[in-house]
Amino acid sequence: KGKRPQTINQLSGGEKTLTATALLFALYLLKPAPFCIFDEVDAPLDDANIEKFNRIIKKFSRDSQFIIVTHNKLTMAAVDTIYGVYMAEQGISGVSPVDFRDFEHTASFEVVEN
């Protein structure tokens, strides 16, 4: 089962991402850091691998904090807190934090737009 070994240049973007994150998390097992920043690391992954990536992040987040820049809805849905960044005015960014842990005991919540 699985693929034949290939050179890194023959791997797809998703396979390269999985290889790099596997190496990173292996290093984390040896020497954990207090936080880690990922910038759109999930972009080349398909939905099945994004779900796996999110489970790994959840496991490692017990000991470290993760800051993940993403446009992926599956990753956004898997986090405790999300910070939406938007352009309030030309050249001025705004930030809207939502802590989903506040809604754990609520069946639904209303999104209010400014």
* Residue 112 maps to a domain: no
CATH of residue 85's domain is: 3.40.50.300
In a domain, 114, yes or no: no
pTM over 0.85: no
Residues 52, 23, 20, 10, Cα dihedral to 10°: -100
Number of domains in the chain: 1
Q: For the chain, how big is the Rg over CA atoms in Å?
A: 17
The answer, yes or no, to whether residue 6 has pLDDT greater than 80, is no
In the predicted model, what is the mean pLDDT of residues 3-9? 76
Average pLDDT over the chain reads 87
Assigned domain for 38 exists? yes
Per residue in 72-105, pLDDT tens? 999 999 999 999 999 989 999 999 999 988 876 5
Domain enclosing residue 90, as ranges: 8-100
Any domain includes 58: yes
Structure tokens belonging to residue 57: 């992040």
